[in-house]
Copies of this chain bind each other. A is one copy, B any other.
Amino acid sequence: MDSIDRKIIRELQKNGRITNQELATKVNLSPSPCLRRLKALEERGIIKGYSAVIDAKSYGLPLTALIRIKLDRHSEDAVRQFEDRVRRLDEVIECHVLTGATDYFMKVLVAGLEEYEEFVRKQIHPIGDINSIDSSFVYGTVKTTNVFPDI
């Protein structure tokens, strides 16, 4: 992982479908070594994959909810139960365990407020052992990027 690898990564974060030839030009290599570095990064799992960036509203999911959830109990069973159930929910785009008082943070994509309320009522509450749910909705987006800072 040298500065050329990091540059390859940032270029691929900017444009995941750039051709190897263009990528090679951008990082000042010829196509062959550039491709070999790329394949090595994939092989090592540093590049975990590639994804299309989609406008959620156009797709039909205009509402993004950010949710903080605290559990009642923290027994191994309660935690595993919660995490297993959350992983299977297609509406959940991200879920992280946090430091501090709030146990979990999730990002959820839904069609609207009604759908969100149904999601919480039918998918989250039934998991059980939930102490509190604090929902916020995304009003507007100041910035989103997939490109990591240069280090």
The CA-CA distance from A6 to B59 in the complex, in Å, is 7
The CA-CA distance from A83 to B151 in the complex, in Å, is 23
A47 and B53 form a contact (CB under 8 A): yes
Give which listed residue, B51, B83, B141, contacts A95 with CB less than 8 A: B141
* Copies of this chain, count: 2
A149 and B61 form a contact (CB under 8 A): yes
Q: Mark A136-150, 1 if CB is under 8 A from B, else 0.
A: 111111111111111
Give which listed residue, B14, B45, B136, contacts A100 with CB less than 8 A: B136
The CA-CA distance from A115 to B131 in the complex, in Å, is 33
Q: Which of A26-34, A70-78, A103-111 contacts B (4 or more CB under 8 A)?
A: A103-111
